[in-house]
Structure formats: structure tokens, C-alpha cells
Amino acid sequence: MPLTISTTMADDTLLQSLRSRLPDEFSRDALNSALQVLDQPENKMRAHQFAGTLRELIAHILSVMAPTEAVTRCAWYKQEKDVEGPTRRQRALYTCRGGLSDAFLKDKLKLNPKNLHREFSNSFQQLNKRTHVRPDTVLADPDKIEEFANDGISALLDVFETMDEVHKSITDAIVKELHGEAMSAFINETIQELDEIAGRYETGSVWVDEAKVIFLGADTIEYQVKGSVDVTLHYGGRSNPTEIDESFPYECTTTAPALDPTRFDSSQTTMTVDTSSWRQ
């Protein structure tokens, strides 16, 4: 089992929140090591060492969540001067928008990419402020060290919260655009479950009850759409045709290109309709 360090130098509630966001064992080991340093009263540089480890932890978390090769493939990515690879802000942005273009955000979702950058600029400014100790400053007071540690952890959690908020604003805006494409998917797809209960059927209204983004990457975006579909089931021959109107719940999982996020890839679309109520 992973080692859990008990420390009086950082708030337990903050630590629990941070641990829940750590992506791998290396992250957990790094955090535990940083906390161990805080519990070394004889170590005059413990605040500096804690801050240094926390900065390394931040860099590692972002590199796991936003790999360099994925971020640099995005249409919006621009290499910053005098920086090797993506910046921390660019990696954080990738976790929220994947490969969605600036044009799509502005024209389709009515979101200003500059505002997204600004939100992360504020978060990282606070993070930098809270995880650096001046070289000529030595924190010795345990209360001051505890305050410094809690401020650093809080600043990192604020970055995560900003990522969550920006991601939600983007994905909420996207799913509002999916109704028409979900209807087209029904028209274009042959639904096996409906074929099994009727010789012929016609699709009527398609209702979207829930739509969500389940993956947002550099090249693709994956959706899950749930709702109900009105259908007309046809039975009998020309001499005795019968039509029955029904409504069934459906679930659709599909993929779209990141550069055209509302165009479902038919080869990657799975549509299932629950007709169990018809069989009862």
C-alpha cells in the first residue's frame, strides 16, 4: 500500500483534496517526501525544499495530464519564446479544451480563448507566489512554515479547480450543439433493436436527455448521448398495413474530430435502443 505520511505541518483536509487529484504513484511519493521534509525541525531549509518538491510535483502532474506530444499537435498551440515545449498554462489549457480550435470556441461556443488564458494566468501567478521562498529568507517559525505549506497546497488546488471550471464551461457549451447531430445519426444508422421488432420503422423526434463529453483529446472528442426516440413501427402488408407509434430510450456513443467537434464519425458511432418494454 502507498505510504501515507502524517504531518502536523499541513492541513489534513487540504492534503486529502490534493491526494484525490494525484495521477500516479510518483506523484504520491513526491507529496509524501515534501511532507516528510516539513517534519524535520533541525532542517533549516525545509520550507525551500518543500517548495522545490511541490513545484516538481506540479510539473509532473501536468505532464501526465497533458503530454507534450499531444499538446503540440493542437491547432491552437504556439511555442513560447525561450521555453522548451509547452508551458504549464498551455498544459492546463489542454486538459480543458484538447484540440478544439480558437475559431470553434469563439464562433460556435461563444467563448473567448483569451479569457481562458487569463483565468489560468491568475491561477499560476498565485501558485508561483505561494511556492517560492526568497533565497535570503529562512522560515524557522513552525506556524509560518505551516502557513506557507498550506498556502502552496491551496494554490495548487486552485489550479485544479480552475481546470475543472474551464473544462465544464467548454463541455457544457459543446453538448448544447449535439441535438441535431444525434437526430442525423438516427436517420443515417440502421438500428438493430428496431429491426428486430418491426419489418420497417420510421424515426420521428429524437430527444436528448443527457449528453456529456467522455474524452477530449488533441485529435478527437468522444461523446455519450442518452435520451428517447419516437418511432413508427410498420407491420402487415399492403392489404392490411398497421402502424404503431412508440417511444424508446436510446444511448449513443460516438467520436468526432477535434477540429469539427459536432460532426459524428459514423464508423465510430454506436447506437443502441432499449426495446425491452415492447417485449414485455
- Answer yes or no: do 170 and 185 share one domain: no
Under the banding of pLDDT at 50, 70 and 90, the label for residue 280 is low
Dist. CA 143–CA 154, nearest whole Å: 16
Q: So what's the pLDDT on residue 3? A: 42
- Answer yes or no: do 187 and 163 share one domain: no
Given a cut of 70, is residue 262 above it in pLDDT? Answer: yes
Residue 162 domain flag: yes
- Answer yes or no: do 199 and 171 share one domain: no
Contact partners, residue 271, CB within 8 Å, separation at least 6: 185, 186, 189, 191, 250, 251, 252
Spatial CA neighbour of 213 closest among 96, 122, 101, 73: 96
Residue 195 domain flag: yes
Biggest CA pair distance of the chain = 96
- For the residues 245-254, what does the mean pLDDT come to? 93
pTM for this structure? 0.84
- For the residues 236-262, what does the mean pLDDT come to? 90
- Answer yes or no: do 128 and 245 share one domain: no
- Answer yes or no: do 27 and 163 share one domain: yes
- For the residues 150-168, what does the mean pLDDT come to? 93
Q: What percent of the chain has pLDDT over 70?
A: 96
Please answer whether residues 153 and 92 qualify as being in contact, where contact means their C-beta atoms are separated by less than 8 angstroms.
Answer: no
- DSSP-derived letter for residue 80 is P
- Answer yes or no: do 106 and 206 share one domain: no
Under the banding of pLDDT at 50, 70 and 90, the label for residue 5 is very low
Among the ranges given (3-7, 150-154, 157-161), the one the predictor scored with the smallest mean pLDDT: 3-7
Given a cut of 50, is residue 4 above it in pLDDT? Answer: no
- Answer yes or no: do 111 and 223 share one domain: no
Residue 221 domain flag: yes
- Answer yes or no: do 132 and 206 share one domain: no
Cα distances from 108 to residues 24, 101, 156, 164, 168, in angstroms, run 36, 10, 31, 21, 16
Select from 119, 143, 175 the last residue of a domain. Answer: 175
- Answer yes or no: do 115 and 193 share one domain: no
Residue 2 domain flag: no
Query: For residue 232, what are the domain limits?
Result: 179-279
- For the residues 10-18, what does the mean pLDDT come to? 92
Structural domain tally of the chain? 2
Q: Sign of dihedral through CA atoms 170, 171, 176, 178? A: positive
Under the banding of pLDDT at 50, 70 and 90, the label for residue 266 is confident
- For the residues 106-116, what does the mean pLDDT come to? 91
Map residue 125 onto helix, strand or coil: helix
- Answer yes or no: do 132 and 168 share one domain: yes
Among the ranges given (90-104, 142-156, 191-205), the one the predictor scored with the smallest mean pLDDT: 191-205
What's the chain's average pLDDT? 89
Q: Sign of dihedral through CA atoms 82, 87, 89, 94? A: positive
- Answer yes or no: do 108 and 226 share one domain: no
- Answer yes or no: do 186 and 156 share one domain: no
- 160 or 237, greater pLDDT: 160
Q: What percent of the chain has pLDDT over 90?
A: 57
Among the ranges given (37-41, 104-108, 224-228, 236-240), the one the predictor scored with the smallest mean pLDDT: 236-240
Spatial CA neighbour of 102 closest among 135, 63, 76, 71: 76
